[in-house]
Amino acid sequence: MQTRQSADGTELSYERHGDGRPLILLHGGMAPREYWNPVIPHFEEYAAIVPQRPGFGTRLDDPAETSADEVLERETRDVRTLVDAVDGDPVLFGHSYGALTAIEAATDAAVEAVVAYEPAVLPDDFREEADLADRMEALVEKDERREAVKRYIEQVLHPEGIDDLDAWLAEWPVWPDCVDLAEEVVRMNRAVERYQLPDRLDVDAPVLVLTGTDGPDFLRDSARAVHEALPHSRLVEFDGVSHSGPAEAPEMVSAEVDSFLRE
């Protein structure tokens, strides 16, 4: 594990795998950095840099005072710190909330390209009625942290429903750690609910926007909207792949990414 200090003094932890073109992998809302383990072997020609988001496996200096309005700004700033730390202009590859962070960081950071799998952006009509953060926060305040995180899983990870969610969670290796992330996931969701996609995203680098047919419909809609707001982007949809595309179908996703980057 390596560390880097951000402009505000926060210590950023990250792993580095291999040598070559720097590829910064940004995990999403409920995933630890291990989310990228299935993906990394498919990028042998790259130096894969995998940071741990503050609050996800590392302690925030004062998480209670980190507001929803500050969450995206804080994490975007951290990504820019990593961009400045590597040799050359890196590629940013983000999943979900990490994809939104990657795009925002690229508005004023020197990057070679951006890959964004289903950025955590809500369509306007969906955002106006979104209340997941409120529902989760109410459960956390009642010390029902497990139920709070289950609401996130039901709405974002498995909107199609699971016959026996508790049984599925019992087999999910990261589930106990996810429960510990409840407060951070509430702040992250509130930041997503407040984020409004501009008509144009000021990103000079080429962007590959990815989505899957088996994920939430609103995220597929958002992927298209993000694509249309970018001046230089390509949109690719994977048939039969869910919101967890990079970890679920790493060979398919990485092949598309590698083809894009070679061009």
- The residue that leads in pLDDT, 128 or 4, is 128
Residue 158 belongs to some domain of the structure: no
Q: How far apart are CA 260 and CA 191, in angstroms?
A: 30
Which range, 14-18, 65-69, 81-85, 234-238, is most confident? Answer: 234-238
What is the C-alpha separation between 234 and 228, in angstroms, rounded? Answer: 9
202-238 pLDDT, tens digit per residue, is 999 999 999 999 988 889 999 999 999 999 999 999 9
For residues 68 and 54, give the distance between their C-alpha atoms in angstroms, rounded to a whole number. 14
**pLDDT of residue 65 exceeding 50:** no
In a domain, 170, yes or no: no
First CA to last CA distance, the chain: 32
Residue 260's pLDDT is: 96
In a domain, 144, yes or no: no
Instruction: Kindly tell me if the per-residue pLDDT of 68 is higher than 80.
Output: no
Distance of CA 241 to the CA centre of its chain: 17
Query: Is 246 a domain residue?
Result: yes
In terms of DSSP H, where are the helices of the chain? 68-85, 97-105, 124-129, 132-141, 145-152, 165-171, 175-180, 182-194, 217-229, 245-248, 250-262
CA 170 to chain centroid: 24
Instruction: Average the pLDDT over 177-186 and give the result.
Output: 82
Give the pLDDT band (50/70/90) at residue 166: confident
pLDDT at 63: 44
pLDDT of 147 above 60: yes
Residue 54 confidence class, pLDDT cut points 50, 70, 90: low
Q: How many helices (H) does the chain have, and how many strands (E)?
A: 11, 8
Which pLDDT does position 101 carry in this prediction? 94
**Which residue has better confidence, 188 or 30?**
188
**What sign results for the dihedral spanned by CA atoms 175, 255, 102, 127?**
negative
Residue 84, phi then psi, degrees to nearest 5: -70, -20
**What does the alpha-carbon distance between residue 66 and residue 8 come to, in Å, rounded to a whole number?**
13
- Domain count within the chain: 1
pLDDT at 186: 87
CATH of the domain at 61: 3.40.50.1820
Indicate whether 152 belongs to any domain.
no
- Phi and psi dihedrals of 44, rounded to 5? -65, -25
| 95 C-beta neighbours (distance < 10 Å), count | 30
| Tens digit of each residue's pLDDT (9 = 90 or more) over 95-120 | 999 999 999 999 999 999 999 999 99
Q: Is the pLDDT of residue 64 over 50?
A: no
Say if residue 55's pLDDT is above 60: no
Please give the pLDDT value at position 1: 59
Q: Of 202, 234, 209, which is closest to residue 223 (Cα–Cα)? A: 209
Which is it for the CA torsion 50, 81, 5, 184, positive or negative? negative
Q: Examine residue 162 and state whether it is found in any structural domain, yes or no.
A: no
pLDDT of residue 57: 39
pLDDT in tens, 2-48: 766 666 666 777 888 988 999 999 988 766 677 888 999 999 999 99
Give the rounded percent of residues in the chain with a pLDDT score beyond 70: 88
Q: Residue 143: what pLDDT?
A: 93
Q: Which domain holds residue 60?
A: 2-122+198-262
Residues in the chain: 263
Say what angle helices 182-194 and 145-152 make with each other, to 10 degrees: 40
Q: Phi first, then psi: give them for residue 240, nearest 5 degrees.
A: 80, 15
